């Protein structure tokens, strides 16, 4: 409904708790984000300049869209690959993680199920952390969010128990952590969607900025779990994103990784 959309944007926009973990990145942009981190090696630091926090919605916005910072890419541009997870000698890409005790056993089942799709379809393996320095800390904070790519050290993936613990949402956030941005910011998106700027609050329009993306030679994917919904950040209930030429094409699903989402992971990580 109109009220829900409006309230949602407001709540996200004024959600300091959610932004706090990486507030430097969220409020000050790339440079602040990079300088915020400490890394011994210069290349690592330069890659981290490209890493941004993605704050996705919670509750009713789950199928609607996300908040993302102005500089977005389909997949992270990372020349030395330091912002991606490392491949083991056996060809598997291990992504260590911990899960907060705040989650119930059924929450944990949802998260495990989301990870299982990556395991069965790609060379990504989410593994319980033992001593690894770089890992995901999956927590129930305020909203659904993740940084993009491997940051180095611990990085929070928030799946609020209050609206984010769903199969497709968990996959969406985990996919951010692997290095993927939102589909609708692709460089070629104007051939596939029309952005209805008049229906978007000016303060939220940056979420729809088109960027020069690394699309991994894969087609634009309406069915990507990383695509915004049609009314994401609408100020009037009307569509903010219209597929073209057929406006009835569904977009913004949060059910499961699409076939192309899976293909991209396999390309990016050379599975
Ligand atoms: Zn997102």
pLDDT tens string 73-82: 467 777 677 8
Average pLDDT over residues 159-187: 92
Secondary structure (DSSP) of the chain? -HHHHHHHHHHHHT-HHHHGGGHHHHHHHHHHHHHHS--SSHHHHHHHTT--EEEE--GGGGGT-EE--SS--SB---TTSTTSPPBPTTS-EEEEEEE-TTS-HHHHHHHHHHHHHHHHHSSEEEEE-SS-SSEEEEE--SSEEEESS--SSEEEEEE-TTTT-SHHHHHHHHHHHHTB--GGG-TTGGGTEEE-GGGB-GGGGGGG-------TT----TT-TTSPPTTTTBSSSS-SEEESS-TTS-----SS--HHHHHHHHHHTT-
Measured in angstroms, how far is the CA atom of residue 62 from the centroid of ligand 1? 10
Would you place residue 267 in the very low, low, confident or very high pLDDT band (cuts 50, 70, 90)?
A: very high
pLDDT tens string 189-222: 999 999 999 999 888 888 888 766 678 899 999 9
User: Would you state the structure tokens that stand for residue 196, as one six-digit string?
Assistant: 């209805």
What average pLDDT is seen over the chain?
Answer: 77
Measured in angstroms, how far is the CA atom of residue 173 from the centroid of ligand 1? 6
User: Would you state the structure tokens that stand for residue 20, as one six-digit string?
Assistant: 């706090």
| Ramachandran sector of residue 47 (left: φ over 0; alpha: ψ -120 to 50; beta: rest) | alpha
Size (the chain), residues: 271
Is 173 catalytic? The answer is: yes
Q: From the candidates 64, 173, 183, 211, which is the catalytic residue?
A: 173
CB under 8 Å to 6, separation ≥6 — which residues?
A: 235
pLDDT at 172: 94
**Alpha carbon distance 85, 124 (integer Å):** 9
pLDDT winner (highest mean) among 1-5, 124-128, 183-187, 229-233: 124-128
More confident residue, 68 or 192: 192
Would you place residue 46 in the very low, low, confident or very high pLDDT band (cuts 50, 70, 90)?
A: very low
Asked whether the predicted pLDDT for residue 129 surpasses 60, the reply is yes
Entry pTM: 0.76
Asked whether the predicted pLDDT for residue 47 surpasses 80, the reply is no
pLDDT at 57: 56
pLDDT at 26: 30
Measured in angstroms, how far is the CA atom of residue 183 from the centroid of ligand 1? 9
Q: Has 182 been labeled as part of a binding site?
A: yes
Average pLDDT over residues 222-236: 92
Average pLDDT over residues 225-245: 93
CB under 8 Å to 29, separation ≥6 — which residues?
A: 69, 70, 71
Average pLDDT over residues 27-53: 35
Q: Has 176 been labeled as part of a binding site?
A: yes
User: Would you state the structure tokens that stand for residue 41, as one six-digit string?
Assistant: 């090696």
Q: Has 227 been labeled as part of a binding site?
A: no
Cα 97 to Cα 126, 134, 152: the distances in Å are 7, 9, 13
Asked whether the predicted pLDDT for residue 4 surpasses 50, the reply is no
User: Would you state the structure tokens that stand for residue 144, as one six-digit string?
Assistant: 């659904």
More confident residue, 105 or 162: 105
Measured in angstroms, how far is the CA atom of residue 182 from the centroid of ligand 1? 6
């Amino acid at each position: 409904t109109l009220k829900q959309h409006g309230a949602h944007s407001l709540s996200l926009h004024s959600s300091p708790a959610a932004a706090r973990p990486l507030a430097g990145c969220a409020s000050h942009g790339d440079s602040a984000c990079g300088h915020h981190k400490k890394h011994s090696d210069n290349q690592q630091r330069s890659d981290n300049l490209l890493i941004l926090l993605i704050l996705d919605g919670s509750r009713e916005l789950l199928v609607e869209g996300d908040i993302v910072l102005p500089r977005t890419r389909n997949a992270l541009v990372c020349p030395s690959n330091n912002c991606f997870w490392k491949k083991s000698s056996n060809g598997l890409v291990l992504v260590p993680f911990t899960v907060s005790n705040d989650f119930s056993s059924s929450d944990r089942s949802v998260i495990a199920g989301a990870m299982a799709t990556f395991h069965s379809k790609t060379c990504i393996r989410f593994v319980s952390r033992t001593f690894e320095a770089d890992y995901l800390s999956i927590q129930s904070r305020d909203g659904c969010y993740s940084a993009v790519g491997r940051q180095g050290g611990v990085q929070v993936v928030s799946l609020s128990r209050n609206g984010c613990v769903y199969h497709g949402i968990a996959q969406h956030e985990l996919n951010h952590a692997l290095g993927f941005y939102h589909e609708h910011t692709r460089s070629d998106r104007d051939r596939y969607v029309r952005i209805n700027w008049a229906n978007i609050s000016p303060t939220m329009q940056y979420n729809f900025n088109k960027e020069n993306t690394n699309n991994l030679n894969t087609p634009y994917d309406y069915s990507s779990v990383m695509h915004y919904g049609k009314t994401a950040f609408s100020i009037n209930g009307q569509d903010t994103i219209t597929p073209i030429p057929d406006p009835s094409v569904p977009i913004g699903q949060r059910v499961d990784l699409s076939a192309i989402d899976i293909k991209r992971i396999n390309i990016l990580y050379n599975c």
